[in-house]
């Protein structure tokens, strides 16, 4: 069991090193990358099965918590690990049919697995400092991926991306130092016990600092503007990987700390989150409506959909948290798929500008159908996964009497449908403009570009028409998140709950 918890870190680390050594051998790199992603997906599935029996904890070097480093896998982290492994597999398969030789030989595949190492580490870490470390691993790998190549705007987008994320790291490290100073520990389980004895006003300050840090990484209002400025600039596989994973690590961190650590005054902390969630939904979708480039529209929709996840967290109810978990899993799949689909459109016309697109459905209906599945799911059209996700969020909002935020959620869903129909009409339905140019025959795309899209679309449909298992999983994960005592018992065991070194 302990091996299953550590393998999501060991596998990407080993693959990153192996792929770096083999980076000049394209065929070998592709085979290793796909095989490694498949193994990682299998391990993540096995870990989720094991966590149904209880929270899994591994003490590195046999040093017990809270003194040593621990890895912790509960239902929430294991479920997110699995869906991230799925979209990573899909993106890597897609990339083998997309990426040019230069990028592959300069380290695309090793960087992808270095990124996955940081992402998986963030999901599994049991203490705040190592969460910071994994965030920095993720930041370094993602920055290089963002500027890898010669596309227009990559460097500018990369500068915006790294500047704001370094600011987030500053807030994160400052909050970490304050917490260690007042509590004498950074272990999540130990902190959740010790913070009950800390001045609530000090906790509010730390909560705001961490909220800003994770809010920047999650692209929460008003800290989201770096995302639409950078996510459309790199190659499509990189955009898809970022869209599926990076902001979701920020959301994961927000859910973790605002259910485990900062629950001393939910009337203040979670009300603030609710306000940010409503504005995140609204500003994101309005930004999407104003765009005329496919990937820019999709980038703004990352922001708007993040608002739904934070909405469920802000309600701080079993149904609210279950809706956040469900929405998070649904959105990772759907958003990754939409970016992969945008790649086929761009490869066909050489651009994602809606003014230069048109007529795709008349000549290649299969591409239009594949687009409609994630697009309608994003907008919440039944019977797709997005319908259940939005329904859960709206039900949770009504049950918690958060009527204004719930009304915003409904309105944003309608605007999302409008912007998806805008892409459909401009790229697929309208007549092809005279100045547009077909660069590739979309009927001859290699299977490596189409199969990942079909797989993710099938998952979206399956989660919609047979979503009961995921709903049950989300409910159980929410119950664990609302029960810090179970987390403490799993991590600390018989350790007496007290501050270390007389910190409190």
Dihedral angle over CA of 437, 444, 151, 93, nearest 10: 160
Residue 461 tokens, joined: 């449909």
pLDDT confidence of residue 347: 84
Exposed / middle / buried, residue 453 (Cβ in 10 Å: 0-12, 13-18, 19+): buried
Domain boundary among 244, 264, 284: 264
pLDDT confidence of residue 389: 95
Residue 358 tokens, joined: 């048109």
Pair (41, 171) in one structural domain: yes
State the DSSP string of 125-181.
Answer: B-BHHHHHHHHHHHHHHHHHHHHSS--TTHHHHHHHHHHHHHHHHHHHHHHHHHHHH
pLDDT confidence of residue 360: 79
Domain boundary among 264, 289, 316: 264
Pair (228, 285) in one structural domain: no
CA distance 120 to 140: 15
pLDDT confidence of residue 223: 84
Residue 144 lies in a domain: yes
Tally the domains of the chain: 2
pLDDT confidence of residue 150: 58
With CA atoms as reference, report the closest residue to 283 among 270, 269, 302, 268: 302
Overall pTM > 0.75: yes
Pair (91, 115) in one structural domain: yes
Pair (271, 260) in one structural domain: no
pLDDT confidence of residue 29: 92
* Domain assignment of residue 292, given as a range: 267-465
Contacting residues for 254 by C-beta, under 8 A, at least 6 apart: 211, 214, 215, 218, 220, 273, 310, 313
Residue 496 lies in a domain: no
Pair (127, 272) in one structural domain: no
Pair (303, 432) in one structural domain: yes
Residue 257 lies in a domain: yes
Average pLDDT across each block of 10 residues of the chain; the chain has 504 residues. List them in order.
90 95 90 96 96 91 84 95 96 92 87 95 94 93 81 68 85 93 91 88 92 92 83 87 91 95 90 95 93 91 95 95 96 96 85 79 84 94 93 96 95 94 87 59 75 95 92 95 91 58 43
Residue 229 lies in a domain: yes
Pair (240, 144) in one structural domain: yes
Phi then psi for residue 72, to 5 deg, are: -130, 130
Q: Is 401 helix (H, G, I), strand (E, B) or coil?
A: coil
Pair (194, 282) in one structural domain: no
Pair (252, 284) in one structural domain: no
Pair (290, 248) in one structural domain: no
Pair (411, 277) in one structural domain: yes
pLDDT confidence of residue 436: 52
Residue 1 lies in a domain: yes
Residue 49 lies in a domain: yes
Residue 492 lies in a domain: no
- Calculate what percentage of the chain has a pLDDT beyond 70: 94
Residue 60 lies in a domain: yes
Pair (284, 255) in one structural domain: no
If phi > 0 it is left, if psi is from -120 to 50 it is alpha, else beta; for residue 389 that is alpha
Beta bridge partners of 293: 353
């Amino acid at each position: 069991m302990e091996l299953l918890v550590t393998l999501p870190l060991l596998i990407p680390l080993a693959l990153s090193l192996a792929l770096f050594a083999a980076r000049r051998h394209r065929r070998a790199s592709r085979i290793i990358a796909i095989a490694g992603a498949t193994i990682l997906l299998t391990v993540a599935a096995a870990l989720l099965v094991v966590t149904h029996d209880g929270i899994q904890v591994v003490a590195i070097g046999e040093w017990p918590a809270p003194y040593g480093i621990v890895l912790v896998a509960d239902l929430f982290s294991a479920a997110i690990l699995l869906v991230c492994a799925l979209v990573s597999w899909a993106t890597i398969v897609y990339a083998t049919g997309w990426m040019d030789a230069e990028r592959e030989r300069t380290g695309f595949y090793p960087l992808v697995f270095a990124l996955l190492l940081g992402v998986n580490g963030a999901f599994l870490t049991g203490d705040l400092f190592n969460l910071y470390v994994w965030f920095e691993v993720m930041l370094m790998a993602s920055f290089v991926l963002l500027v890898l190549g010669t596309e227009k705007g990559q460097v500018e987008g990369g500068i915006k991306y790294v500047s704001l994320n370094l600011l987030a790291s500053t807030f994160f490290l400052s909050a970490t130092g304050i917490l260690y100073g007042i509590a004498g520990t950074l272990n999540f389980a130990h902190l959740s016990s010790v913070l009950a004895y800390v001045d609530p006003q000090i906790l509010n300050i730390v909560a705001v600092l961490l909220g800003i840090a994770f809010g920047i990484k999650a692209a929460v209002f008003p800290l989201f503007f770096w995302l639409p400025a950078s996510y459309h600039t790199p190659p499509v596989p990189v955009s898809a990987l970022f869209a599926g994973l990076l902001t979701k690590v920020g959301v994961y961190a927000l859910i973790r700390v605002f259910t485990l650590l900062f629950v001393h005054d939910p009337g203040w902390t979670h009300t603030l989150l609710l306000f940010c969630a409503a504005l995140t939904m609204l500003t994101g979708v309005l930004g999407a409506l104003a765009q005329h480039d496919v990937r820019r529209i999709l980038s703004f929709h990352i922001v708007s959909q993040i608002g739904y996840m934070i909405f469920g967290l802000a309600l701080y109810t079993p149904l609210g948290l279950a809706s956040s978990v469900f929405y998070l899993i649904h959105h990772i799949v759907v958003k990754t798929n939409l970016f992969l689909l945008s790649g086929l459109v761009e490869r066909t016309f050489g651009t994602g500008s809606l003014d230069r697109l048109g007529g795709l459905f008349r000549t290649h209906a299969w591409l239009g159908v594949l687009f409609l599945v994630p697009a309608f799911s994003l907008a919440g059209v039944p019977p797709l996964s997005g319908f259940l996700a939005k329904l859960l969020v709206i039900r949770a909002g009504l049950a918690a009497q958060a009527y204004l935020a719930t009304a915003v959620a409904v309105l944003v869903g309608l605007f999302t449908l409008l912007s998806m129909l805008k892409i459909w009409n401009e790229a697929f339905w309208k007549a092809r403009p005279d100045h547009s140019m077909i660069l590739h025959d979309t009927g001859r795309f290699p299977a490596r570009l189409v199969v990942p899209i079909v797989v993710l679309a099938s998952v979206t449909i399956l989660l919609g028409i047979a979503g009961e298992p995921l709903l049950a999983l989300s409910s159980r994960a929410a119950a664990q998140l609302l029960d810090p005592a179970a987390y403490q018992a799993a991590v600390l065991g018989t350790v007496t709950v007290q501050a270390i070194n007389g910190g409190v």
